[in-house]
Structure 1
């Protein structure tokens, strides 16, 4: 695919490593060693994070899941101590080999428990009360997903929501964490309208994530998958593209698709009905058409200056999340000035 104007290389700004968090910790020594016994890995992690153990202090409300992500089911719950509503997130154990599941839980607990950012949903704790494996407990987000939110609140600012999501992803990337499953259903909105990233079921540290994604792992996420993850190969990088790995650059592509969801109030490639059609279209370089329902200069700028650069077929030509966040703040400032002078 020949890059059009939307996907031309852009001049990179100097990286700002001091904008909103300290230098990332060294995660290369994570105690999740492939050579260790999975039971011991998980036991050690639960012991290490015993301060987050909510066993005996959480109850489910109802027996059916309220929602779910690619790898988990979400149940409504309540803290017994104060009645606070919570979400109980259970990984779907049947889709994971037992050893992989235990190490994934240990890794996710290790990563999630160390994150602190307004646009990343905090982990309240875990509990051992609902099955043989630990489940995760977070605050209950009554506004649902960010796509639910913009559908229910037509006056909601897509720009402000896009800024929040970008800030959360930038925070993860600066800590060398690839989310790897960025989409509207993995962004929840707080009662005050703040978007928060969730579901690190596919999240992997860069040093761990260099594995080929299987069809099982990719299921349900094709509409947000980058060109290189759908078989696309640029001539200069065809060897590297033989290994389809989740990267910061593929997160950027998915971020652009997520902003597109907020603009169109629909999933990417909504005109295509099957995963195969979507996978084939992205691999061949077919980008989403310009939405016909864009309202005003703000949404036009989000499409043209934010979404489109994220979809360069060459991953290295995509902006970083730091650059996108700077562009979003510039747009916010520009829109504010125009409104002020009306």
Structure 2
């Protein structure tokens, strides 16, 4: 019975695409997915299929498009700008939002622009299904305010990235922030989703001072029967695990994202939160970072961070997360349990410290 149901729903989604192509309204497919329990394995497989097909056809469900006139930009310049997108401040239904405007043109079919549009559509499919206090809320796609470009609309995070937040709030509870990130990643992994690009730049702090994960451009499904997910064609070298950098050294056929590579990246994020520095800050060349990582070099423990919550148990967790043997890294359940326990003990001590320098002086 279950097998028949699995084949029927998968075939249904495929048939909708192959018979109607880019003209299909995917609302019906989403309603079919919503009818399944979030823990249902079939729901996750069909969501993965929907992600791939939307990327293949470079479309998003019509229901993702926000009504014209409901979104407006605020200001004449973007708040931030990167290689692939600009971030503008805006308003949606009277609430402040962030507008992530991609450097892609609708309908363009040339070279890398197609790949960017494919990534945009796949990211939208996954992000729209996520609901958790430690995941940045995503409202939908604005296709009119920045014509001919597309924008993703999500909650405005008043305190910016976690790096900016710690610069402005140096006595912040770092263990609490780490627990936020670990619980957000736990939710993703329980949903069979690998983030793929976890780093401080992709962690934002909202008005309630809660850390939220964002940027799901590399995110992909990771369910039973699929040991890994997608080949790594992008990423951030300083947070990449050694098996992603050189898979053959670890008896892997190719570099592919996994839960374990997310765990490795989380360890580097934890180190960032305690030090205010990017991993391997002392090396300016990415090639040098790669060499050091493959040699087994990891960031060293700063003793002055102990008063900030970097206790022995926390450092042991970090070391376990970035060890080279990817199969032996802990999962998010173990990490969340460990951080919760340490946070309770740290809070009971009444400790609250402001570092003498920030970022920490590592020399």
Match of 2:134 in 1: 119
Alignment of 1:86-125 (within 5 A): 86-93=97-104, 97-125=112-140
Total equivalences in the alignment: 304
Q: If the length of structure 2 is used for normalisation, what is the TM-score? A: 0.76
Distance, in Å, in 2 between the alignment partners of 1:190 and 1:35 is 30
- Equivalent residue for 1:277, pick from 288, 313, 316: 288
Aligned-residue CA RMSD (Å): 2.6
The structural deviation recorded for 1:337 is: 4.1
Match of 1:318 in 2: 329
- Equivalent residue for 1:187, pick from 203, 209, 215: 203
Match of 2:262 in 1: 251
For the pair shown, the structure with the greater C-alpha radius of gyration is 2
Match of 1:10 in 2: none
Distance, in Å, in 2 between the alignment partners of 1:160 and 1:120 is 15
- Equivalent residue for 1:161, pick from 169, 177, 180: 177
Distance, in Å, in 2 between the alignment partners of 1:131 and 1:328 is 45
Q: If the length of structure 1 is used for normalisation, what is the TM-score? A: 0.81
Distance 1:213 1:70, change over 3 A: farther
- Equivalent residue for 1:67, pick from 52, 57, 80: 80
Distance, in Å, in 2 between the alignment partners of 1:155 and 1:272 is 28
User: Could you report, residue by residue, the CA deviation over 1:113-145 in whole angstroms, capped at 9, with x for unpaired residues?
Assistant: 111000000102211011335311012112010
Match of 2:243 in 1: 228
Distance, in Å, in 2 between the alignment partners of 1:112 and 1:35 is 13
Distance, in Å, in 2 between the alignment partners of 1:151 and 1:318 is 30
Match of 1:28 in 2: 45
User: Could you report, residue by residue, the CA deviation over 1:196-240 in whole angstroms, capped at 9, with x for unpaired residues?
Assistant: 1001111111269733323xx13xx11111111122655xx42x1
Please state if 1:211 is matched with 2:230: yes
Distance, in Å, in 1 between the alignment partners of 2:40 and 2:149 is 30
* 2:231 and 2:256 in contact (8 A); partners too: yes
Q: Which 10-residue stretch deviates more, 168-177 or 127-136?
A: 127-136
Distance, in Å, in 2 between the alignment partners of 1:96 and 1:188 is 32
User: Could you report, residue by residue, the CA deviation over 1:156-207 in whole angstroms, capped at 9, with x for unpaired residues?
Assistant: 0000000000000000011111101101110000111100100111111126
The runs of at least 4 consecutive aligned structure 1 residues that moved more than 6 Å come to none
Distance, in Å, in 2 between the alignment partners of 1:306 and 1:183 is 17
